[in-house]
Structure 1
Amino acid sequence: MHQAGVSAVAIAFAVTANAGVADLAEKAKTEGLTYAIINIKPWYYNDDQGRLTGADVENLRAALAGMGIDKFNPIVTEWSSIVPGVKSGRFDVGAGMYITPERCKEVAFTMPYAVIVPALVVKNGNPDKIKSWEDFKNNPILKVGVYAGGAEVGYMVKSGVANDNIVQLPDQNSLIQALVNGQIQAFNVGLGQANEIAAQVEDLEVVKDFKPPE
Protein backbone atom coordinates (compact mmCIF):
# COMPACT_ATOMS: atom_id res chain seq x y z
CA MET A 1 0.00 0.00 0.00
CA HIS A 2 1.21 3.53 -0.79
CA GLN A 3 1.48 6.33 1.74
CA ALA A 4 -1.74 7.97 2.95
CA GLY A 5 -3.43 10.08 0.32
CA VAL A 6 -2.44 8.10 -2.74
CA SER A 7 -4.05 5.36 -4.80
CA ALA A 8 -5.42 3.20 -1.99
CA VAL A 9 -6.12 4.00 1.66
CA ALA A 10 -7.49 1.78 4.43
CA ILE A 11 -10.87 2.65 5.93
CA ALA A 12 -12.59 1.48 9.09
CA PHE A 13 -15.53 1.98 11.39
CA ALA A 14 -14.98 4.53 14.12
CA VAL A 15 -15.98 3.92 17.74
CA THR A 16 -15.65 6.21 20.72
CA ALA A 17 -12.22 6.12 22.29
CA ASN A 18 -13.64 5.67 25.80
CA ALA A 19 -16.10 2.93 24.85
CA GLY A 20 -14.53 -0.35 23.81
CA VAL A 21 -15.96 -2.97 21.50
CA ALA A 22 -17.13 -5.06 24.46
CA ASP A 23 -19.10 -2.12 25.86
CA LEU A 24 -20.70 -1.43 22.50
CA ALA A 25 -21.54 -5.10 22.01
CA GLU A 26 -23.29 -5.21 25.37
CA LYS A 27 -25.30 -2.10 24.53
CA ALA A 28 -26.17 -3.50 21.10
CA LYS A 29 -27.73 -6.60 22.64
CA THR A 30 -30.22 -4.55 24.61
CA GLU A 31 -30.63 -1.21 22.83
CA GLY A 32 -28.98 -1.55 19.43
CA LEU A 33 -26.24 0.71 18.11
CA THR A 34 -26.68 4.14 16.58
CA TYR A 35 -24.87 4.01 13.25
CA ALA A 36 -23.97 7.24 11.41
CA ILE A 37 -24.17 6.89 7.63
CA ILE A 38 -24.44 8.98 4.47
CA ASN A 39 -26.57 8.02 1.46
CA ILE A 40 -24.06 6.97 -1.19
CA LYS A 41 -23.84 3.89 -3.36
CA PRO A 42 -22.25 1.38 -3.20
CA TRP A 43 -21.68 1.88 0.54
CA TYR A 44 -25.09 2.84 2.01
CA TYR A 45 -28.45 2.86 0.24
CA ASN A 46 -31.96 1.39 0.32
CA ASP A 47 -32.70 -1.51 -2.01
CA ASP A 48 -35.91 -1.98 -4.02
CA GLN A 49 -37.67 -3.27 -0.91
CA GLY A 50 -36.60 -0.26 1.15
CA ARG A 51 -34.07 -2.29 3.15
CA LEU A 52 -30.83 -0.54 4.07
CA THR A 53 -27.90 -2.25 2.41
CA GLY A 54 -24.52 -1.48 0.85
CA ALA A 55 -20.94 -2.67 1.26
CA ASP A 56 -20.32 -0.99 4.63
CA VAL A 57 -23.77 -1.86 5.96
CA GLU A 58 -23.30 -5.54 5.16
CA ASN A 59 -19.81 -5.49 6.71
CA LEU A 60 -21.32 -4.17 9.93
CA ARG A 61 -24.16 -6.71 9.81
CA ALA A 62 -21.66 -9.53 9.40
CA ALA A 63 -19.46 -8.27 12.24
CA LEU A 64 -22.42 -7.92 14.60
CA ALA A 65 -23.87 -11.28 13.58
CA GLY A 66 -20.60 -12.88 14.63
CA MET A 67 -21.29 -11.54 18.13
CA GLY A 68 -24.92 -12.65 18.09
CA ILE A 69 -26.23 -9.12 17.45
CA ASP A 70 -28.74 -8.22 14.74
CA LYS A 71 -29.88 -4.77 15.83
CA PHE A 72 -28.59 -1.34 14.85
CA ASN A 73 -30.20 2.01 14.17
CA PRO A 74 -28.86 3.88 11.11
CA ILE A 75 -28.92 7.69 11.21
CA VAL A 76 -28.32 9.61 7.98
CA THR A 77 -26.06 12.61 8.54
CA GLU A 78 -23.49 14.80 6.79
CA TRP A 79 -19.97 13.47 6.42
CA SER A 80 -18.38 16.26 8.48
CA SER A 81 -20.57 15.43 11.49
CA ILE A 82 -19.62 11.75 11.82
CA VAL A 83 -16.37 11.99 13.80
CA PRO A 84 -17.66 14.78 16.10
CA GLY A 85 -20.87 12.80 16.58
CA VAL A 86 -19.03 9.61 17.52
CA LYS A 87 -16.73 11.53 19.85
CA SER A 88 -19.64 13.21 21.62
CA GLY A 89 -21.62 9.98 21.97
CA ARG A 90 -24.40 10.98 19.59
CA PHE A 91 -23.44 7.98 17.44
CA ASP A 92 -22.02 4.68 18.67
CA VAL A 93 -20.47 3.73 15.36
CA GLY A 94 -19.43 5.85 12.40
CA ALA A 95 -19.41 5.08 8.71
CA GLY A 96 -16.30 3.54 7.20
CA MET A 97 -13.62 6.16 6.61
CA TYR A 98 -9.94 6.71 5.99
CA ILE A 99 -7.79 6.13 9.06
CA THR A 100 -5.70 9.27 9.59
CA PRO A 101 -3.46 10.40 12.49
CA GLU A 102 -5.80 13.34 13.08
CA ARG A 103 -8.88 11.13 13.37
CA CYS A 104 -7.07 8.68 15.63
CA LYS A 105 -6.71 11.51 18.14
CA GLU A 106 -10.50 11.86 18.23
CA VAL A 107 -11.93 8.33 17.96
CA ALA A 108 -10.81 4.70 17.96
CA PHE A 109 -10.92 2.43 14.91
CA THR A 110 -11.50 -1.22 14.19
CA MET A 111 -9.06 -3.13 12.01
CA PRO A 112 -9.13 -1.92 8.38
CA TYR A 113 -11.42 -3.98 6.17
CA ALA A 114 -11.16 -2.36 2.73
CA VAL A 115 -9.15 -0.04 0.53
CA ILE A 116 -10.48 2.86 -1.52
CA VAL A 117 -9.14 3.86 -4.92
CA PRO A 118 -9.66 7.60 -5.57
CA ALA A 119 -11.36 8.84 -8.73
CA LEU A 120 -12.38 12.13 -10.31
CA VAL A 121 -15.84 12.79 -11.77
CA VAL A 122 -16.12 15.39 -14.56
CA LYS A 123 -18.62 16.52 -17.19
CA ASN A 124 -18.94 14.26 -20.22
CA GLY A 125 -16.03 14.64 -22.59
CA ASN A 126 -13.81 15.97 -19.79
CA PRO A 127 -13.77 19.50 -21.31
CA ASP A 128 -10.91 20.70 -19.08
CA LYS A 129 -8.79 17.60 -19.83
CA ILE A 130 -8.32 16.85 -16.15
CA LYS A 131 -6.19 13.76 -15.48
CA SER A 132 -4.84 14.20 -11.95
CA TRP A 133 -4.68 16.41 -8.86
CA GLU A 134 -1.68 18.04 -10.54
CA ASP A 135 -4.05 19.81 -12.92
CA PHE A 136 -5.61 21.75 -10.03
CA LYS A 137 -2.17 22.67 -8.71
CA ASN A 138 -1.05 23.97 -12.10
CA ASN A 139 -4.23 25.86 -13.03
CA PRO A 140 -5.66 28.20 -10.37
CA ILE A 141 -8.91 28.55 -12.32
CA LEU A 142 -9.83 24.88 -11.90
CA LYS A 143 -11.81 23.91 -8.79
CA VAL A 144 -12.16 20.42 -7.34
CA GLY A 145 -14.98 19.41 -5.00
CA VAL A 146 -14.57 17.14 -1.98
CA TYR A 147 -16.67 16.12 1.01
CA ALA A 148 -16.47 18.68 3.81
CA GLY A 149 -14.30 17.22 6.54
CA GLY A 150 -12.91 14.55 4.23
CA ALA A 151 -9.31 13.39 4.48
CA GLU A 152 -8.83 14.30 0.82
CA VAL A 153 -8.55 17.98 1.75
CA GLY A 154 -5.34 17.40 3.69
CA TYR A 155 -3.99 15.01 1.08
CA MET A 156 -4.58 17.52 -1.71
CA VAL A 157 -2.97 20.37 0.20
CA LYS A 158 0.07 18.19 0.94
CA SER A 159 0.33 17.38 -2.77
CA GLY A 160 0.45 21.08 -3.60
CA VAL A 161 -3.17 21.94 -4.42
CA ALA A 162 -4.06 25.36 -2.99
CA ASN A 163 -6.96 25.67 -0.56
CA ASP A 164 -8.54 28.16 -2.96
CA ASN A 165 -8.82 25.39 -5.55
CA ILE A 166 -10.61 23.02 -3.15
CA VAL A 167 -14.36 23.38 -2.62
CA GLN A 168 -15.76 21.50 0.39
CA LEU A 169 -19.40 20.46 0.09
CA PRO A 170 -21.65 18.57 2.52
CA ASP A 171 -22.97 15.67 0.45
CA GLN A 172 -23.06 13.82 -2.85
CA ASN A 173 -25.95 15.83 -4.29
CA SER A 174 -24.10 19.08 -3.58
CA LEU A 175 -21.02 17.79 -5.39
CA ILE A 176 -23.07 16.74 -8.41
CA GLN A 177 -24.97 20.03 -8.60
CA ALA A 178 -21.80 22.10 -8.23
CA LEU A 179 -20.20 20.21 -11.12
CA VAL A 180 -23.27 20.39 -13.36
CA ASN A 181 -23.63 24.12 -12.64
CA GLY A 182 -19.97 24.86 -13.33
CA GLN A 183 -18.99 25.89 -9.79
CA ILE A 184 -16.35 23.16 -9.85
CA GLN A 185 -14.70 21.32 -12.74
CA ALA A 186 -14.42 17.92 -11.02
CA PHE A 187 -14.98 16.21 -7.70
CA ASN A 188 -12.99 13.54 -5.91
CA VAL A 189 -14.66 10.40 -4.49
CA GLY A 190 -13.88 6.69 -4.31
CA LEU A 191 -13.94 4.76 -7.58
CA GLY A 192 -16.96 2.66 -6.65
CA GLN A 193 -19.02 5.73 -5.81
CA ALA A 194 -17.76 7.54 -8.92
CA ASN A 195 -18.94 4.69 -11.15
CA GLU A 196 -22.37 4.70 -9.48
CA ILE A 197 -22.72 8.45 -10.04
CA ALA A 198 -21.68 8.24 -13.69
CA ALA A 199 -24.22 5.47 -14.25
CA GLN A 200 -27.02 7.57 -12.73
CA VAL A 201 -26.21 11.07 -14.04
CA GLU A 202 -26.00 11.08 -17.82
CA ASP A 203 -24.02 14.35 -18.05
CA LEU A 204 -21.12 13.06 -15.93
CA GLU A 205 -18.30 10.57 -16.39
CA VAL A 206 -15.33 9.17 -14.49
CA VAL A 207 -11.92 10.45 -15.60
CA LYS A 208 -10.22 7.81 -17.69
CA ASP A 209 -6.53 7.15 -17.06
CA PHE A 210 -6.69 9.04 -13.76
CA LYS A 211 -3.21 9.43 -12.29
CA PRO A 212 -3.32 9.07 -8.48
CA PRO A 213 -0.90 11.23 -6.47
CA GLU A 214 2.44 9.66 -5.60
Structure 2
Amino acid sequence: MRVKIAYIEEPPFYWTGEDHSVKGADIELAEVVLRAIGVSTIEYQLTSFEELLPGVQNGRWDMNVPIFATEERAKHVAFSVPVWSLGDGFVVHRTNPKALTSYEAVAAQSEVRLGIIPGQIQFDSAKSAGVSDSQIVMFKHQPDAVAALLSGKIDAFAATAVGNRVIAGANKELEAVAHDIGKDGKAPIGAFSFNKSNHDLLHAVNAQLREYLGSADHRTRMAKYGITQTEIDSVIVGKK
Protein backbone atom coordinates (compact mmCIF):
# COMPACT_ATOMS: atom_id res chain seq x y z
CA MET A 1 0.00 0.00 0.00
CA ARG A 2 1.36 3.39 -1.03
CA VAL A 3 0.35 6.78 0.38
CA LYS A 4 1.45 10.21 -0.81
CA ILE A 5 1.30 12.99 1.76
CA ALA A 6 1.80 16.71 1.12
CA TYR A 7 3.64 19.02 3.49
CA ILE A 8 4.98 22.57 3.69
CA GLU A 9 8.05 24.12 5.32
CA GLU A 10 6.91 24.88 8.85
CA PRO A 11 9.12 23.56 11.67
CA PRO A 12 8.69 21.89 14.10
CA PHE A 13 5.71 20.27 12.43
CA TYR A 14 7.14 19.51 9.00
CA TRP A 15 10.18 20.57 7.01
CA THR A 16 12.90 19.40 4.64
CA GLY A 17 16.17 18.55 6.35
CA GLU A 18 19.63 19.40 5.06
CA ASP A 19 19.92 15.80 3.88
CA HIS A 20 16.69 16.30 1.88
CA SER A 21 14.74 13.96 4.14
CA VAL A 22 11.34 15.09 5.44
CA LYS A 23 11.24 15.71 9.19
CA GLY A 24 8.94 17.01 11.90
CA ALA A 25 6.51 16.16 14.66
CA ASP A 26 3.57 15.63 12.31
CA ILE A 27 5.73 13.74 9.81
CA GLU A 28 6.75 11.34 12.55
CA LEU A 29 3.14 10.98 13.66
CA ALA A 30 2.06 10.28 10.09
CA GLU A 31 4.74 7.64 9.65
CA VAL A 32 3.86 5.83 12.87
CA VAL A 33 0.16 5.80 12.02
CA LEU A 34 0.53 4.88 8.35
CA ARG A 35 2.98 2.05 9.05
CA ALA A 36 0.59 0.69 11.68
CA ILE A 37 -2.25 0.46 9.14
CA GLY A 38 -0.10 -1.40 6.64
CA VAL A 39 1.30 1.33 4.40
CA SER A 40 4.55 0.05 2.90
CA THR A 41 5.58 3.14 0.90
CA ILE A 42 5.18 6.76 2.03
CA GLU A 43 5.89 9.50 -0.51
CA TYR A 44 6.19 13.17 0.39
CA GLN A 45 5.18 16.12 -1.77
CA LEU A 46 6.46 19.59 -0.86
CA THR A 47 3.88 22.25 -1.71
CA SER A 48 2.64 25.66 -0.62
CA PHE A 49 -0.02 26.18 2.02
CA GLU A 50 -2.54 27.47 -0.49
CA GLU A 51 -2.17 24.28 -2.56
CA LEU A 52 -2.75 21.81 0.28
CA LEU A 53 -6.54 21.61 0.04
CA PRO A 54 -6.84 21.85 -3.77
CA GLY A 55 -4.12 19.24 -4.15
CA VAL A 56 -5.79 16.60 -2.02
CA GLN A 57 -9.18 17.45 -3.55
CA ASN A 58 -7.82 16.93 -7.06
CA GLY A 59 -6.09 13.68 -6.20
CA ARG A 60 -2.54 14.93 -6.62
CA TRP A 61 -1.81 13.28 -3.26
CA ASP A 62 -3.69 11.19 -0.71
CA MET A 63 -3.53 13.26 2.46
CA ASN A 64 -2.17 16.47 3.95
CA VAL A 65 -0.13 17.01 7.07
CA PRO A 66 -2.19 18.40 9.95
CA ILE A 67 -3.46 21.96 9.63
CA PHE A 68 -6.14 23.82 11.56
CA ALA A 69 -9.53 22.21 11.03
CA THR A 70 -12.06 24.96 10.36
CA GLU A 71 -15.68 24.81 9.24
CA GLU A 72 -14.80 26.50 5.97
CA ARG A 73 -12.01 24.04 5.17
CA ALA A 74 -14.25 21.11 6.11
CA LYS A 75 -16.50 22.06 3.20
CA HIS A 76 -13.72 20.97 0.86
CA VAL A 77 -11.90 18.10 2.60
CA ALA A 78 -12.48 15.43 5.24
CA PHE A 79 -10.53 15.93 8.46
CA SER A 80 -9.21 13.21 10.72
CA VAL A 81 -9.72 13.26 14.48
CA PRO A 82 -7.75 16.14 16.05
CA VAL A 83 -4.05 15.57 16.72
CA TRP A 84 -3.12 18.81 18.51
CA SER A 85 -4.46 22.12 19.79
CA LEU A 86 -2.33 25.20 19.20
CA GLY A 87 -2.48 28.82 20.21
CA ASP A 88 -1.33 31.76 18.06
CA GLY A 89 1.58 34.07 18.56
CA PHE A 90 4.03 36.43 16.88
CA VAL A 91 7.70 36.35 16.06
CA VAL A 92 9.11 39.84 16.65
CA HIS A 93 12.47 41.52 17.05
CA ARG A 94 14.09 40.81 20.39
CA THR A 95 12.75 42.98 23.24
CA ASN A 96 9.56 43.44 21.18
CA PRO A 97 10.16 47.19 20.72
CA LYS A 98 6.60 47.92 19.55
CA ALA A 99 4.96 45.81 22.28
CA LEU A 100 3.16 43.55 19.80
CA THR A 101 1.46 41.06 22.10
CA SER A 102 -1.86 40.61 20.25
CA TYR A 103 -3.62 41.33 16.97
CA GLU A 104 -5.31 44.26 18.71
CA ALA A 105 -1.89 45.73 19.49
CA VAL A 106 -1.03 45.54 15.79
CA ALA A 107 -4.32 47.17 14.80
CA ALA A 108 -3.68 50.05 17.22
CA GLN A 109 -0.44 51.00 15.42
CA SER A 110 -1.17 51.78 11.80
CA GLU A 111 2.49 51.81 10.81
CA VAL A 112 3.02 48.20 11.97
CA ARG A 113 3.30 45.55 9.24
CA LEU A 114 2.29 41.97 9.99
CA GLY A 115 3.48 38.99 7.93
CA ILE A 116 1.00 36.17 7.28
CA ILE A 117 0.89 33.06 5.07
CA PRO A 118 -2.13 33.20 2.69
CA GLY A 119 -5.04 30.99 3.69
CA GLN A 120 -3.92 30.42 7.26
CA ILE A 121 -6.28 31.16 10.14
CA GLN A 122 -4.07 33.96 11.39
CA PHE A 123 -5.41 36.16 8.58
CA ASP A 124 -8.99 35.87 9.83
CA SER A 125 -7.87 36.41 13.42
CA ALA A 126 -6.00 39.56 12.44
CA LYS A 127 -8.88 40.96 10.41
CA SER A 128 -11.43 40.27 13.16
CA ALA A 129 -9.21 42.18 15.59
CA GLY A 130 -9.19 45.24 13.34
CA VAL A 131 -5.88 44.83 11.52
CA SER A 132 -6.22 46.62 8.17
CA ASP A 133 -5.37 45.16 4.76
CA SER A 134 -2.64 47.77 4.38
CA GLN A 135 -0.92 46.40 7.48
CA ILE A 136 -0.87 42.79 6.26
CA VAL A 137 1.97 41.52 4.09
CA MET A 138 1.48 38.08 2.54
CA PHE A 139 4.25 35.52 2.10
CA LYS A 140 3.90 32.24 0.27
CA HIS A 141 6.46 30.47 2.46
CA GLN A 142 7.47 30.85 6.10
CA PRO A 143 11.22 31.32 5.40
CA ASP A 144 10.38 34.34 3.21
CA ALA A 145 8.41 35.91 6.06
CA VAL A 146 11.24 35.33 8.52
CA ALA A 147 13.73 36.91 6.10
CA ALA A 148 11.44 39.94 5.75
CA LEU A 149 11.20 40.25 9.53
CA LEU A 150 14.97 40.07 9.93
CA SER A 151 15.45 42.76 7.26
CA GLY A 152 12.87 45.07 8.85
CA LYS A 153 10.30 44.90 6.06
CA ILE A 154 7.70 43.65 8.56
CA ASP A 155 7.42 44.11 12.32
CA ALA A 156 5.94 40.72 13.24
CA PHE A 157 5.11 37.35 11.75
CA ALA A 158 1.95 35.54 12.89
CA ALA A 159 1.87 31.75 13.22
CA THR A 160 1.48 29.11 15.92
CA ALA A 161 3.15 29.78 19.26
CA VAL A 162 4.95 26.42 19.08
CA GLY A 163 6.30 27.07 15.60
CA ASN A 164 7.33 30.57 16.55
CA ARG A 165 9.48 29.26 19.38
CA VAL A 166 11.45 27.25 16.82
CA ILE A 167 11.94 30.30 14.59
CA ALA A 168 13.10 32.43 17.51
CA GLY A 169 15.38 29.67 18.73
CA ALA A 170 17.17 29.69 15.38
CA ASN A 171 17.53 33.49 15.19
CA LYS A 172 19.13 35.37 18.08
CA GLU A 173 17.67 38.68 16.86
CA LEU A 174 14.11 37.41 17.24
CA GLU A 175 11.80 36.32 20.02
CA ALA A 176 8.45 34.56 20.20
CA VAL A 177 5.41 36.13 21.85
CA ALA A 178 2.49 33.83 22.64
CA HIS A 179 -1.04 35.23 22.58
CA ASP A 180 -3.59 34.67 25.30
CA ILE A 181 -5.73 31.71 24.22
CA GLY A 182 -9.02 33.46 24.95
CA LYS A 183 -11.92 33.54 27.32
CA ASP A 184 -12.98 29.93 26.68
CA GLY A 185 -9.44 28.63 27.20
CA LYS A 186 -9.60 26.59 24.01
CA ALA A 187 -7.05 26.83 21.23
CA PRO A 188 -7.84 25.80 17.64
CA ILE A 189 -7.41 22.13 16.77
CA GLY A 190 -5.47 20.58 13.92
CA ALA A 191 -5.95 17.38 11.93
CA PHE A 192 -4.85 15.48 8.83
CA SER A 193 -7.05 16.09 5.78
CA PHE A 194 -8.19 13.85 2.92
CA ASN A 195 -10.26 13.83 -0.24
CA LYS A 196 -13.87 13.38 0.87
CA SER A 197 -14.21 10.24 -1.25
CA ASN A 198 -11.18 8.55 0.34
CA HIS A 199 -13.23 6.88 3.08
CA ASP A 200 -11.04 3.81 3.58
CA LEU A 201 -7.84 5.73 4.29
CA LEU A 202 -9.61 8.25 6.52
CA HIS A 203 -11.28 5.53 8.60
CA ALA A 204 -8.06 3.52 8.94
CA VAL A 205 -6.06 6.58 10.01
CA ASN A 206 -8.74 7.64 12.49
CA ALA A 207 -8.90 4.20 14.08
CA GLN A 208 -5.13 4.17 14.60
CA LEU A 209 -5.03 7.77 15.84
CA ARG A 210 -7.64 6.99 18.50
CA GLU A 211 -5.46 4.10 19.64
CA TYR A 212 -2.15 5.93 19.55
CA LEU A 213 -2.74 9.57 20.53
CA GLY A 214 -1.91 10.23 24.17
CA SER A 215 0.19 7.09 24.54
CA ALA A 216 3.63 7.25 26.17
CA ASP A 217 5.28 6.72 22.79
CA HIS A 218 3.27 9.54 21.22
CA ARG A 219 4.11 11.97 24.02
CA THR A 220 7.81 11.09 23.91
CA ARG A 221 8.00 11.60 20.16
CA MET A 222 6.18 14.94 20.28
CA ALA A 223 8.26 16.24 23.18
CA LYS A 224 11.36 16.10 20.98
CA TYR A 225 9.80 18.87 18.90
CA GLY A 226 8.61 21.04 21.77
CA ILE A 227 5.01 19.82 21.63
CA THR A 228 3.90 19.22 25.20
CA GLN A 229 0.82 18.14 27.15
CA THR A 230 -0.52 21.68 26.65
CA GLU A 231 -0.89 21.02 22.95
CA ILE A 232 -1.93 17.36 23.30
CA ASP A 233 -4.22 16.88 26.29
CA SER A 234 -7.15 18.96 25.07
CA VAL A 235 -7.63 16.66 22.07
CA ILE A 236 -7.10 13.39 23.93
CA VAL A 237 -10.10 11.60 25.40
CA GLY A 238 -9.53 9.22 28.29
CA LYS A 239 -5.72 9.04 28.13
CA LYS A 240 -3.04 10.65 30.25
TMscore range, shorter length: 0.7 to 0.9
Corresponding residue of 2:156? 186
| Rounded Cα–Cα distance in structure 1 between residues aligned with 2:180 and 2:133 | 20
SS in 2 for 1:34: strand
Taking the TM superposition and a 5 Å limit, the aligned residue runs for 1:53-202 are 53-202=23-172
Q: Report the Cα offset of residue 127 of structure 1.
A: 1.5
> Which residue type is aligned with residue 104 of structure 2?
E
Q: Is the 8 A contact 2:116 2:157 kept in 1?
A: yes
Q: Report the Cα offset of residue 47 of structure 1.
A: 5.5
TM-score by length of 1: 0.78
Q: Report the Cα offset of residue 51 of structure 1.
A: 3.9
Q: Is the 8 A contact 1:37 1:95 kept in 2?
A: yes
Which structure has the highest helix share of the two? 2
1:133-190, CA deviations, whole angstroms, 9 ceiling, x for partnerless residues? 1111211111111111112112221232222222221111111111112221101111
Corresponding residue of 2:4? 34
| Rounded Cα–Cα distance in structure 1 between residues aligned with 2:182 and 2:144 | 25
| Rounded Cα–Cα distance in structure 2 between residues aligned with 1:101 and 1:210 | 22
Q: Is the 8 A contact 1:61 1:70 kept in 2?
A: no
TM-score by length of 2: 0.70
| Rounded Cα–Cα distance in structure 1 between residues aligned with 2:134 and 2:160 | 22
Q: Percent identity?
A: 27
Gaps in structure 1 of 5+ consecutive residues: 1-28
SS in 2 for 1:197: helix
| Rounded Cα–Cα distance in structure 1 between residues aligned with 2:49 and 2:102 | 24
Q: Is the 8 A contact 2:6 2:61 kept in 1?
A: yes
Q: Report the Cα offset of residue 45 of structure 1.
A: 3.1
> Which residue type is aligned with residue 157 of structure 2?
F
Q: Report the Cα offset of residue 212 of structure 1.
A: 4.5
Report which stretch shifted further, 85-94 or 46-55: 46-55
Matched, 1:44 2:14: yes
> Which residue type is aligned with residue 94 of structure 2?
N
